[in-house]
Amino acid sequence: MDGYEVDTTTLVSAAGTLRAVADRAAEAIPALNRLGGDLGPGGLSERVRDLAEGWQDDVRTARDGLEAAAAATQVSASEYRTGDELARHDF
């Protein structure tokens, strides 16, 4: 192809990196369950628990976004490889 190339190896690597980060995010979710405990009077325990639950939701959202980006990146790499193969056979 003239003037435009896609490094599919880099795309596959990027997809792997995105999956690895998503996995790390998933590992953090249970740790957030351990925040708090009995922190004394004044509703502090409940506030910390609410904060941790919000963080869990945010981390889940980030994990889901990373997994979706990884999947889309992997599909892109496959599509570009298929296009390259078809172009080689057509020319």
Tell me the average pLDDT across 8-34: 93
Q: What is the pLDDT at residue 78?
A: 94
Domains in the chain: boundaries: 8-90
CATH class of 8-90: mainly alpha
The residue written with tokens 């997994």 in the block is 67
Residues 6+ away with beta carbon under 8 Å from 87: 1
- The SS3 of residue 63 is helix
* Nearest one of 28, 10, 27, 3 to 73, comparing CA atoms: 10
Q: What is the pLDDT at residue 85?
A: 85
User: What's at 90, amino acid-wise?
Assistant: D
How confident is the model over 37-72, as pLDDT tens digits?
777 888 888 888 898 899 999 999 999 999 999 999
Residues 6+ away with beta carbon under 8 Å from 2: none
